[in-house]
Chain A
Amino acid sequence: MTVTETPAPRPPATGQWWRRNQMRVAPWLFLAPGIAFFALYVIYPIFQSFNISFYRWDGLGEPVPVGLENYRQLLDDRAFYTSLRNNVKWLLLYLLAIPGGLFIALFLNQQIRGMRLYKSLFFFPFVISQVVVGLVFAWFYNPAIGLFNPLIGLFGVAPMNVLGNPNTVTYGIIAAGLWPQIAYCMILYLTGLNAVDPEQVEAARLDGAKGWKMLWYVILPQLRPATFIAVVVTVIGAMRSFDMISVMTNGGPFGSSRVLAYYMFEVSLSEYGFRMGYGAAIAVVLFLIMMVYIAFFLWRMWREERGY
């Protein structure tokens, strides 16, 4: 701690300086711990990753500089493209959580005895850990003991090995991920619906709006802040879809359910990994993809702050 940080009254010289600059310095003092840790644990590692991605390094010996070799390898790495494709699938299908959450919220937004109980039941999947959700779904899909095959058998569908089939595995995991994500979006919309102005609804009803029209032109515009947050958390959730994959399939069968984040972990930190440079290269690519989205997000925030 420096002298400037000690509270006011004691020595007159610094005291005067403090009094003069208090308003300007105080916010920075409050921000200082946050900025320091953010710089140390977020900003610095980003540049470190960029740097490591130009080396071949097993985490033990001396790093060997290889230039762009890691990126060249990425270009003809089948696993990389599979992961990238799966990331896109996650991103698109995960967005289904938003309409899903909205409709459950609309459904639950009524005055009935015991509604709180129903609401909490619907919210329940979000409360339990992703790891537990993954485990439960893995058992559910298990072709030997799971309930999934008897269930689809009722509709005359032949038994499936959802998590063991490269064509279905990613969808199976996304479905499991949607379960808690829908609950999350539902809660966002439920709070949003509380803030919907009843007078506007009343006015719209007098003008003859109902059903879809009412929803689209009157309710949804008022839910815009909730929708915005729902999109943000869902996109982030889709991008960091790591734990479910790790618990349910370990990226298998033969790598068909990997996403970039998981592949990065596998290459650099798993039992057979420790190709730090290659892992860092994947991380850089993932970072650049995320950057597009984050930039858009920041730009929008900034625009809204300016009051457009």
Chain B
Amino acid sequence: MQFTFKGAAAALAMSTMLAGTAQAELTGNLRIFFNDQNPAPKAAMEGMVERFQALHPALNIELTLIDREANKTQIRNYLTANAPDVNGWYAGNRMRPFVAAGLFEDVSDLWAGEMGEELASTRPALTLDGKQWGVPYSYYQWGIYYRQDIFEELGLSVPTTWEEEKANCQVILESGRKCYTIGTRFLWTTGGWFDYLNLRTHGYDFHMALTAGEIPWTDDRVRETFAKWRELIDMGAFIDDHTAYTWQEAQPFLVNGEAAAYLMGNFLVAPLREAGLTDDQLGFYQFPEITPGIPMAEDAPTDTLHIPAQAQNKDNARAFLQFVASAENQTIVNEVLGQLPINRNASVADDKFIQAGFEMLSNATGGIAQFFDRDTDAEMAAAGMEGFQEFMVMPDNLDAILQRLESVRQRVTAN
């Protein structure tokens, strides 16, 4: 899919030009490969490009939208041959193969100024080898989405500690429901559970060291995390047969009230609303504390834009990234996306879940993790999530699973 915005935005240009910008007039080309074709991200990106075009009417912008999954393999081709000027990707370790191969442009110069301060919360996620390699435009919170009406019916309140969480779960189980729905067919959903159990049991620093491959998987502290997980598994807290479902196929259990909660990212809200749950039925709470006193850290996967090292129009690309990072743009874009802006001067949409997420992440004193498969090496992520799924079905295999993960870790770190 390709669009040219030049003509369409001409009218808009007149009005916004009056507002005036300090930037010099840009000419030439700007080719953007964006990695999402879903309606909301598509609208957000097109809006972004249209407004940028209005600022620079002489610029010839070409936007190509690539399917989210297809982009994960295509990026390898387009970064090495016929690179665009800007491309969409993810923060964290997911950037590493391209940074290591010299395919991403170092954009530390952009981060050096005012922009770096405004985006400070995600600076660590965009930093590898002491340099920044891209600019974030949006992120979203993870947490527990639950059925408020079921909680009210059973007289439960939102838990803040592990003991309360388990006590609640016991009541829910006795009412003939399951505590949590989950669909592990595509494995990644298990990563959310591991992240939160590990972050809450041992804290951010331990979690990041583990995902960076610095701590053996056979470490006793890792076992403690799995022991917490096992408490829930032994209670029968998760729905049966979760290996057969995708994350979408697991939603009906929550919608039909057969399960009371779902640990998921904020993108869950849209399909649940569509399925008929109102804001009175659906609630959100932060994953409760496990080890008392550990600062709360959260998963908040960040979506980013990068400049390929082989880009033809790097000056235009830099100007665009600067525009993307601005408070005004992030406010508009995240309103459309239904997600959170990263720029601290941007304002947040008036939505129950987005507000809750904003508050939670603003107070995430422990730190912000990306997600298991973005914080770890790709090979480690695949082996890890496969192990988590096996553990959820056969918790007795834990020793064998950890041995296997450890041998993968050793191979990955040796390389």
Interface residues, chain A, CB within 8 Å of chain B? 56, 58-61, 73, 78, 141-144, 161, 163-166, 249-250, 252-255, 266, 269-275
Contacts and interface: CB of A to CB of B under 8 A. Distances in A.
B390 A59 contact: no
Say whether chain B's binding surface is mostly helix, strand, loop, or mixed.
helix
15 contacts: A58-B97, A60-B97, A141-B244, A144-B244, A144-B252, A144-B253, A161-B244, A163-B243, A165-B243, A249-B185, A253-B185, A270-B382, A272-B381, A274-B378, A275-B379
A168 B91 CA distance: 39
B373 interface: yes
Interface string B225-245: 000000000000000111111
Interface of B: 69, 72-73, 76, 80, 97-98, 100-101, 103, 184-187, 240-245, 249, 252-253, 373, 378-379, 381-382, 386-387, 389-390, 393, 404, 411, 415
Q: List the 9 closest A-B pairs by CB distance, nearest first.
A: A164-B243, A272-B382, A164-B244, A254-B390, A253-B243, A161-B241, A60-B101, A143-B241, A272-B378
Given A56-B415, A161-B240, A254 B387 contact: yes
Contacts of B379: 272, 275
Contacts of A56: 415
Contacts of A274: 76, 97, 378
Given A144-B249, A253-B184, A254-B386, A60 B244 contact: no
Nearest to A253: B243
A275 to B, nearest CB: 7
Contact of A253 (B101, B249, B381, B389): B389
Nearest to A56: B415
Nearest to A159: B241
Given A61-B101, A144-B249, A161 B404 contact: no
Contacts of B252: 144
A34 to B, nearest CB: 29
B378 A273 contact: yes
Contact of A252 (B100, B101, B187, B378): B187
Contacts of A253: 184-185, 243, 389-390, 393
A254 B389 contact: yes
A252 B389 contact: yes
* Listed residue (A56, A161, A273) with the most chain B CB atoms within 10 angstroms of its CB: A161
Given A60-B97, A143-B240, A272-B379, A252 B185 contact: yes
Nearest to A275: B379
Contact of A60 (B73, B103, B389): B103
Contact of A59 (B76, B185, B241, B393): B76
Contacts of A141: 244
Given A60-B103, A144-B249, A144-B252, A252 B243 contact: yes
B393 A254 contact: yes
A60 to B, nearest CB: 4
Contacts of A271: 69, 72-73, 378, 382
A205 to B, nearest CB: 53
Nearest to B389: A254
Contacts of B387: 254
Nearest to A272: B382
Contacts of A269: 73
A286 B244 CA distance: 28
Given A78-B404, A164-B243, A60 B76 contact: yes
A60 B99 CA distance: 11
A21 B197 CA distance: 79
A142 B100 CA distance: 43
Given A142-B245, A253-B184, A274-B76, 12 more contacts: A60-B80, A61-B101, A144-B245, A144-B249, A163-B243, A249-B185, A252-B185, A253-B393, A271-B69, A272-B381, A272-B382, A273-B378
A142 B185 CA distance: 12
A250 B188 CA distance: 13
B186 A250 contact: yes
